[in-house]
Amino acid sequence: MRRLLYLLIILATVAQSSEAVAVQLVTNSTNDETCQAAEITDAQAVLQRAMEVTGLDAVPDQVLHLQAMDGVEMNYQSERTYPPFFSLMRKTEIWLDPQTGIQRTEATAVFPGNGPNPYPPIVNKAASAFMTRDTMMVPMPAGVGTPHQLHALGVLKNWRADPEVRVAERCTYRDYWRTVLSRPGKEANERLYFDPKTGFPVKLDTQERHYLWGQVHVEYQYSLWGKLGAMHVPRASFRVVDGATEITQTIGTMELIAQDEAPALRVPDPLPPVPDQPPMFLQAIPPDTVGVGTDTYLLVNRGYTEAVALIDGTVYMFEATQNEERARLDHEWVQKLFPGEHPIVVVVTDLAWPHIAGVRYWVAQGATIVSHSISEDFLRQVVERRWTLEPDLLEQRRDEVMFRFIGIDALHKLADGKVQLFPIDGIGSEGAIVAYLPEVDFLWASDFIQRADEPTAYATEVWQAVQRVGVAPEQTAAQHLPLTPWKTIESLQTEDE
């Protein structure tokens, strides 16, 4: 399966990610909320009542042990930009110490074509997360791992200890009035909704930065509360992003166990700062250049390889990955490699979100975007999305630029045939294109050849597309494939037969 390198980070999406919904980007909530001034002003009283009804203070010497199944929607890398998306399915075991709020998660996941794979245990306390290896605890970037906010009891424990919590207002949510508490968050105020009838928390509401959408509205919903001794536990939790469900967690068996029956539930004291960096595959590390041929280069960093060529005075960028910073670094290389002013054409070969997160930068630079015809609507959504939390370059230049798009669905030649673009059109690669540069006998294979040591379905589909169009490259490269002789790819097809 292409993009398997994401497996250790897609437990959170995203991405940062996160991961947001690809279609209904204008949706701000799972329902329309009406808000008004709250009838009470004592936030600690609301939290204390929640502690009592959930029983968090009733089990001082026990640990909550849960068996769960998670479904994580792969909206950012599915075959289409609209539902249904394929899912990562995750069998999860959770231990939560109600007194400290420390949570340990162990998971085994199945991804299409891969797994089940166990992941290293992750220990959380609020936003701090640590990957555990033997006696080592490695701090993890915020958002990596199972979101701690999925677990209402840990959230409640954290809020109960925060002196900055205030009563904000009361709002309608899921058909009933709720009391809303608020506290400052990293990006925006966090809001925790409580049912005033029973005292239970029902939703955590916040805003998160996102590498493609700028910011997203995130809701964690808690439902189907079940009784466990003196405690109550939500048996279904959801992460909802811009109005679309992204993660579901269903609790199966649950029990209270003695602390010495649970694995170690500890974190460093004091807690180190949460690493303020994205996962490695999204980090815009300055790229190196690899020569392909005359005025044609690969731009390579640890996350992604891209290609760039100067042809008849026009710069052709193949891909715009990672984020605005990566696009800016690429642009610096373009200016070094090809001094002077040149029109820029950016070829977008597929729509996985990390693959197109630099598009907004290039649009802000006046570049023309070329992609498959079916990509236009989604790319337009990306460009039209308003970045309000931290305006990027496109947002700052919005009144000065326009979205220029060329769509293709068959062999399309630019620069008098010196750039040839064509769709792959395999069953697993619909909507994706590749590029052939005949003057350097080079095929840019998008993300659809990731390895050259064994046959894969995606590589076969690229090979078939090349045969269908009738071109004859000598070498190829892709987002995760170094410069490789084309005969190596051809030999794999012979082996497969």
Q: State how beta strands 314-318 and 344-347 pair.
A: parallel
218 & 315 share domain: no
224 & 352 share domain: no
Residue 267 in any domain: the answer is: no
Cα–Cα distance for residue pair 462/427, rounded to 1 Å: 11
The type of residue at 130 is F
Residue 153: φ, ψ to 5°: -70, -40
383 & 319 share domain: yes
Q: What is the pLDDT along the chain (497 residues), one digit of tens a residue?
A: 334 333 443 333 333 333 333 333 323 344 578 999 998 999 999 999 999 999 998 888 899 999 999 999 999 999 999 999 999 999 999 999 988 889 999 999 999 989 999 988 999 888 888 998 877 888 887 666 678 899 999 999 999 999 999 999 999 999 999 999 999 988 889 999 999 999 999 999 999 999 999 999 999 999 999 999 999 999 999 999 999 999 999 999 999 999 999 998 999 988 888 777 777 788 899 999 999 999 999 999 999 999 999 999 999 999 999 999 999 999 999 999 999 999 999 999 999 999 999 999 999 999 999 999 999 999 999 999 999 999 999 999 999 999 999 999 999 999 999 999 999 999 999 999 999 999 999 999 999 999 999 999 999 999 999 999 999 999 999 999 999 999 999 999 975 55
What domain range is 63 assigned to?
A: 4-261
Contact 117, 107 (CB under 8 A): no
233 & 308 share domain: no
So what's the pLDDT on residue 158? 92
Residue 272 in any domain: the answer is: no
Q: What is residue 33's three-state secondary structure? A: coil
So what's the pLDDT on residue 192? 98
Cα–Cα distance for residue pair 100/262, rounded to 1 Å: 14
Name residue, tokens 């189907």. 224
Scored b (16 or more CB within 10 A) or e, 295-320 reads bbbbbbbebbbbbbbbbeebbbbbbb
476 & 423 share domain: yes
Residue 390 in any domain: the answer is: yes
The type of residue at 398 is R
Residue 270 in any domain: the answer is: no
Residue 268 in any domain: the answer is: no
How far apart, in Å, do the first and last CA atoms of the chain sit?
A: 20
Q: Which residues contact 187 (CB under 8 A, 6 or more apart)?
A: 206, 207, 208, 209, 215, 389
Which is nearest to 272 in space by CA: 97, 138, 95, 104? Answer: 138
Residue 100 in any domain: the answer is: yes
So what's the pLDDT on residue 142? 62
Residue 107 in any domain: the answer is: yes
Cα–Cα distance for residue pair 416/436, rounded to 1 Å: 13
So what's the pLDDT on residue 134? 76
237 & 329 share domain: no
Q: What is the CATH number of the domain that holds 410?
A: 3.60.15.10
Contact 333, 289 (CB under 8 A): yes
Cα–Cα distance for residue pair 130/122, rounded to 1 Å: 6
Domain boundary at 228, 261, 294, which?
261
Alpha helices for 374-472 (secondary structure H):
376-384, 393-396, 457-469
Q: Could you give the number of structural domains in the chain?
A: 2
Cα–Cα distance for residue pair 381/129, rounded to 1 Å: 33
Contact 363, 384 (CB under 8 A): no
> What six digits make up the tokens of 185?
């968050």
Cα dihedral sign, 421-424-425-428: negative
| CA dist list (Å): 43 to 50, 71, 163, 164, 354 | 11, 34, 10, 10, 40
Cα–Cα distance for residue pair 242/260, rounded to 1 Å: 41
E strand spans, 195-328: 201-210, 214-228, 231-241, 244-258, 288-293, 296-300, 305-311, 314-318
101 & 209 share domain: yes
Domain boundary at 231, 261, 291, which?
261
So what's the pLDDT on residue 275? 76
Q: Which residues contact 26 (CB under 8 A, 6 or more apart)?
A: none
Distance of CA 494 to the CA centre of its chain: 37
Domain boundary at 261, 295, 310, which?
261
Name residue, tokens 């068959």. 410
222 & 322 share domain: no
291 & 257 share domain: no
Q: What is the CATH number of the domain that holds 92?
A: 2.50.20.10
352 & 473 share domain: yes
CA angle 448, 453, 459 (to 5 degrees): 25
Name residue, tokens 């069953």. 427
Contact 316, 308 (CB under 8 A): yes
Cα–Cα distance for residue pair 312/61, rounded to 1 Å: 74
Global pTM reads 0.90
243 & 311 share domain: no
Which is nearest to 359 in space by CA: 378, 342, 343? Answer: 378
Distance of CA 137 to the CA centre of its chain: 24
Residue 269 in any domain: the answer is: no
222 & 341 share domain: no
| CA dist list (Å): 26 to 19, 78, 385, 460 | 16, 21, 9, 38
> What six digits make up the tokens of 440?
């350097």
> Is it true that the peptide bond before 116 is cis, omega within 30 degrees of 0?
yes
Contact 298, 290 (CB under 8 A): yes
Instruction: Give the H/E segment covering residue 296.
Output: strand 296-300
| CA dist list (Å): 94 to 9, 107, 128, 163 | 19, 9, 16, 28
